[in-house]
Structure 1
Amino acid sequence: MRFTSEQRLDNGVLVREFTLGEIPGTLWTPASAEPAPLILMAHNGGLHRRESRLVGRARQAASRGYAVAAIDAPGHGDRPRSADDDAARAEFRRAMRAGEPADELFEAFVGPLVGKTVPEWRTTLDALLELPGIGGSVGYSGWTAVGVRLAATDPRVRAAVFFAGGYVPRAQHEEARRVTVPLLLLLQWDDEGNPRERALDLFDAFGSEEKTLHANVGGHAGTPWFEVDDGERFFARHLS
């Protein structure tokens, strides 16, 4: 892991950009010298790790004593992407807007992306846990499809908050039964891209004994900010 820049915010949080092989990322660490629990914060498909909502969540969590890391998924943010990826993404979005069947398009695009992204998160986690100032438990917050597989396959993840409901590849519905960590699923009731029935089915499939569903009215990007506060209280119960 090579750090390429750093900035100290007014509240003492240290923001560092890094590269790990081909993986670009950002690490936020609190001012405290005590080892901090780590939250892996994953953006949804199509976004960038510097997206304002993610950065706001990361800065707040770091100000409250957590180390937070975000990376760009393959073909996202600072990563190069192919013309085929762009075409697949555009066709999927067109079908969704038109109300056409989009399951096969979704599987063809998102399924392989999850398969590429999860190993990169595990590699990043290996490197992060070797850094001074990071210790204790690991939590996951963000993109549901990636989080389900990571929580099902990596025992270092001790708690998870999933955003954006339940529109995930079919494989993740089976993997959800192997997720046993405490989890919080955030559902936007009027999310145009994540039908609520799928989210409810996914929530039912999780194998966790402690699982909570928060539903709010509004579209995909309308998650209320108070849910960020609730997410931090959730992590405080399970990571501190």
Structure 2
Amino acid sequence: MHVTSEQRLADGVREREFALGETPSTLWTPQTTPAPLVLMSHNNGLPKADPRLVARARYTAARGYAVATIDAAGCGDRPRSAADERARADLRRALRAGEPADEILESVVGPLVENAVPEWRSTLDALLELPVIDGPVGYSGGWAALGIALAVAEPRVVAAGLFAGGYVPRAQREEARRVTIPLLFLLQWDDEGNPRQRALDLFDAFGSEEKTLHANLGGHTGTPPFELEDTCRFLDRHLR
């Protein structure tokens, strides 16, 4: 792990940019450590510097958690291949034209999840060696497909808060039945890009004995601010 920058923020949270191999990453830690760790992602690999993710990460860190995120392959500061660019261009054209985009999304998001899981697990290995972090580990983020895959592959992840606002490939929809950790699932009832019934079917498929669905009116980016507080209470129950 190579730390590239470090700063103390106004809320007392320490922000560190680091690289693990070629993977750009960020770690936020609270004033009091060691702290439980939350792995936090944004929808389908959006950059780790996205303002909404950073705001959630800082809020969660101020609540006493270490929070880490990384850029997925082809996202943020990581270069995209020609194939990535073609697939994303095809997706943009389909969405603008109002055409079915599931197969294009499958071709874009499926490989992203497959490639991201080992990178997140390697990052987790490195983070748990730091003295400022003391498990257990939770997951929180808009990239539900990654959260499902990590919950199945990584026994150190003991609880997950997922946002139902991104495309979940067929493989992860099948894997959802193998997810048994406690879940908090957030759904925007009027999400313009994500069919409501698909999200409800996914919630029904999870194998967890403890799973909670919070549904709020509004579009994709309209999640009420109080849900961040509720997510932290969910993490408090299972990580402390």
What is the TM-score when the length of structure 2 is the normalising length? Answer: 0.96
Distance 1:107 1:133 in 2: 38
| Native 8 Å contact 1:166 1:199 kept in 2 | no
Report how far residue 75 of structure 1 moved: 0.4
Q: 1:205 to 1:95 in 2, by over 3 A?
A: same
Distance 2:239 2:36 in 1: 6
Matches within 5 A, 1:127-206: 127-142=126-141, 143-165=143-165, 167-206=167-206
Distance 2:239 2:119 in 1: 22
Report how far residue 191 of structure 1 moved: 1.2
Report how far residue 2 of structure 1 moved: 0.8
Partner of 1:27: 27
Gaps of 5+ in 2: none
| Native 8 Å contact 1:165 1:185 kept in 2 | no
1:45-79, Cα deviation, whole Å (9 max, x unpaired): 25211111111111111111100001000000010
The one-letter amino acid paired with 1:98 is: A
Distance 2:138 2:191 in 1: 25
The one-letter amino acid paired with 2:84 is: D
Partner of 1:6: 6
Distance 1:213 1:44 in 2: 18
Report how far residue 96 of structure 1 moved: 3.0
Partner of 1:209: 209
Partner of 2:44: 45
User: Is 2:115 aligned against 1:109?
Assistant: no
| Native 8 Å contact 2:105 2:167 kept in 1 | no
Runs of 4+ in 1 over 2 A off after TM superposition: 96-99, 164-167
The one-letter amino acid paired with 1:167 is: Y
User: Is 2:73 aligned against 1:74?
Assistant: yes
Distance 1:41 1:154 in 2: 15
| Native 8 Å contact 2:128 2:135 kept in 1 | no
Structure 1, 221-230 or 164-173: larger mean CA deviation: 164-173
| Native 8 Å contact 1:163 1:185 kept in 2 | yes
The one-letter amino acid paired with 1:84 is: A
The one-letter amino acid paired with 1:133 is: V
Gaps of 5+ in 1: none
| Native 8 Å contact 1:167 1:198 kept in 2 | no
Structure 1, 118-127 or 3-12: larger mean CA deviation: 3-12
Q: Secondary structure at the match of 1:101?
A: coil
State how many pairs are aligned: 239
| Native 8 Å contact 1:148 1:176 kept in 2 | yes
Equivalent pairs: percent with the same residue?
72
Distance 1:162 1:94 in 2: 28
What is the root-mean-square deviation in Å for CA atoms of aligned residues?
A: 1.2
Report how far residue 41 of structure 1 moved: 0.4
Partner of 2:58: 59
| Native 8 Å contact 2:185 2:213 kept in 1 | yes
